[in-house]
Structure 1
């Protein structure tokens, strides 16, 4: 099964407050489209410091995704 979470993210990134974010808005938007299609949710991008993250709402939870180890990872997980 192909999933956006297993696909390597080779786009240029920046580190801001210990989080690896997309350097460019268009790269983040391309990944947001893929993520939104897979999770069946609206996914947008948001500027955070010097980079871009993907934002969406899944099952009533506001989520923010960035990059970790060349993969998409939710960065606002609780607990």
Structure 2
């Protein structure tokens, strides 16, 4: 079953976070999560230690976005970012 309810979105997002950090735009595009920040909040409420680092990204249309959230688990920080 291919579901897109909040529980399924949280499961997809947590699975990805366990592999690598993910930014808001990628979560929307690749994981089909419309509001990644809301899912992160739900995962935090469940006790997952998720951190946010702000980055600058260019989207698929070539537009630059500042302060995009890059989410990562405390056990899997991106290179150059300390917890």
The TM-score with structure 1 as length reference comes to: 0.31
| Higher radius of gyration, 1 or 2 | 2
Higher helix share: 2
Flag the structure with higher strand content.
1
Greater relative CO, 1 or 2 (CA 8 Å, sep 6+): 2
TM-score (structure 2 length as normaliser): 0.30
